[in-house]
Amino acid sequence: MAQHAHVLVIGGGIIGVSVAYYAARAGLGVTLLERHTLASGSSFGNTGLLTLCDSHPLAVPGSALKGLRWLLQGRGPLYIHPRMDARFWLWLLRFARSGSDWATFRREWAHNLALSRLSLELYRDLVEQEGLPVAWHQAGVYHVAYTPEVWEETRRLAHEAQAVGLQAYILPPAEVLARLPYVRAPVLGGVFCPNDAHADPAALVHALAERARSRGARILEGVEVLRLVRHGERVREVWTTHGVYTATWVVLAAGVWTRELAAQVGVSLALEPAKGYSLTLPRPEQAPPTALLLDEPKLAVTVLEQRLRLAGLLELSGMDARLRWARVKHMLAAAAQYLRVDTQEILGVWRGWRPCTAHGRPYIGRAPGLRNLFLATGHCTLGMTQGPATGRLIVDLILEQPTAIDVSLYAP
Ligand SMILES: Cc1cc2nc3c(=O)[nH]c(=O)nc-3n(C[C@H](O)[C@H](O)[C@H](O)COP(=O)(O)OP(=O)(O)OC[C@H]3O[C@@H](n4cnc5c(N)ncnc54)[C@H](O)[C@@H]3O)c2cc1C
């Protein structure tokens, strides 16, 4: 006999766990199914930046030439594996257009910023009111620039951030080096965004899951969803490795794997996996518990308790799971060039796929043509940042309550 859940969430990353938490907090009966363990997907080894200043589209106006140069060099932060797939090239074209000019770039930034702002407010509430058991660093994020071309872009983005109402302070080189003693000179300057934060991403997912459980959510690991069965305008059954489920509401929050699951019920999503890498190294003694973005090699760096994590690269090569050692070496070389870190002792190498939509906004809302299926995915580089807001919005939609921000912006 089928098991029934009022709300059935598929996927145990930051997004699925956030939905489960807010559903349980609203008193809804919620079951979450995760095929491996919680935070085993993209939410595991990322840098855990919770950022307003970097909630803008990845494609910055004027960066097309730079992107092309990186592609031709073959060792820059961007890699595209050529393939015969019209759908992919169409996606890429639309993705590049999200930063084709400053007006479009600003509009898309504002759309993502609304979600990130709400999320940071909710994180603060979770830490301060709910006592979320996680080390939370509200220490801001620094951008550091090393070349004139990059420094110009960094400053321009700081002015754009100020124009959308964010705090972003331009710092001279001496100030950057004084605040970040493990950054190597010479730098051309930096930008400080004091309202950004960071936390260990996997610890964040586990902490939120623990709070969801304590409010009554059933969170099941090792249960894989094999098939969604559609009947008319409803998902009627969810077949899993542990039997069949029925649900009043189904929420698909399976990261990059959402595309295949949604396709089973006739929903086509313009969602592409964008592979990224991270390295975990010992924390240098002089490193304050803050986060920085090295704008030259495009690496994000966060200090997590006794570890330092570096992440970057955007590889559009489908679901190719290969961990290319040449890229790891390139990241290590960049780390040694720009930071005083010990690159001999590597504590972890990881790769994961960001779920990226073509227009750069996540999908949060009811799946087209299906009355009881919600989608919560497509957060690309911002999933950790936007998790709680996504969870809260999905639950408000289920309850048909007014939402804190205009959710139609993210309609699938
Ligand atoms: C290198 C790198 C650095 C990043 N840095 C940041 C950052 O600093 N800040 C930020 O905000 N974001 C960052 N991101 C993006 C962020 O990691 C993602 O946007 C976010 O983790 C996506 O969360 P998710 O819950 O949608 O997906 P995931 O974390 O991938 O979770 C999906 C889950 O669904 C499960 N699942 C899949 N299929 C099934 C099935 N059939 N049945 C059951 N379960 C299933 C998977 O096992 C997985 O656990 C980074 C990403 C990368 C790759």
- Check which CATH number belongs to the domain holding 76 and give it: 3.30.9.10
d(CA 392, CA 311): 28
Q: Is the residue at 151 inside a domain?
A: yes
**In-domain check, residue 84:** yes
Cα(161) to ligand 1 centroid in Å equals 26
β-bridge partners, 403 = none
- pLDDT for 62 equals 73
Give a yes or no: residue 321 inside a domain.
yes
Q: Kindly tell me if the per-residue pLDDT of 64 is higher than 80.
A: no
* Confidence category of residue 66, pLDDT binned at 50, 70, 90: low
Positive or negative CA dihedral for 344, 347, 353, 355? negative
Mean pLDDT of 331-354: 94
Q: So what's the pLDDT on residue 131?
A: 94
* % of the chain surpassing 70 pLDDT: 97
The per-residue pLDDT for 60 is 83
Bigger pLDDT: 96 vs 36:
36
Residue 186 lies in a domain: yes
- Residue 383 domain flag: no
Position 292 scores a pLDDT of 95
Cα gap 189→171, rounded to integer Å: 6
Residue ranges around ligand 1 (CB below 6 Å): 10-16, 33-36, 40-43, 46-49, 224-225, 253-255, 257, 276-278, 300, 311, 352, 354-355, 377, 379-385
Q: What's the 197 CA to ligand 1 centre distance in angstroms? A: 19
Give the range of the structural domain holding residue 316, as residue numbers without chain letter. 68-97+137-195+273-356
Mean pLDDT of 318-343: 92
CA distances from 302 to 100, 201, 213, 340, 379 (A): 30, 11, 29, 14, 20
Q: What is the pLDDT of residue 98?
A: 75
Residue 342 lies in a domain: yes
Q: Which tokens hold the place of 363?
A: 């999908």
Is the pLDDT score of 74 beyond 80? no
Decide: pTM greater than 0.85: yes
Q: How many angstroms separate the CA atoms of 276 and 19, rounded?
A: 25
User: Is it the case that residue 319 has pLDDT exceeding 70?
Assistant: yes
Dist. CA 383 → ligand 1 center (Å): 7
**DSSP-assigned beta bridge partners for residue 304:** 307
pLDDT score recorded for residue 390: 98
Residue type, 341: V
Atom of ligand 1 nearest to the CA of 48: 8
Distance between Cα 49 and ligand 1 center (Å): 14
| pLDDT at 231 exceeding the cut of 70 | yes
Ranges 44-53, 295-304, 396-405: which has the least confidence: 295-304
Average pLDDT, the chain: 94
Whether residue 3 is predicted with pLDDT greater than 90 in this model: the reply is yes
Domain count along the chain:
1
Compute, in angstroms, the gap from residue 14 CA to the centroid of ligand 1. 7
Per-residue model confidence as pLDDT tens digits over 235-264: 999 999 999 999 999 999 999 999 999 999
Residue located nearest, by CA, to atom 48 of ligand 1: 41
Q: Residue 334: what residue type?
A: A
Residue 368 falls within a domain, yes or no?
Answer: no
Query: pLDDT per residue over 283-294, tens digit each?
Result: 998 888 899 999
Mean pLDDT of 113-136: 96
Domain assignment of residue 205, yes or no:
no
Calculate mean pLDDT across residues 24-40. Answer: 98
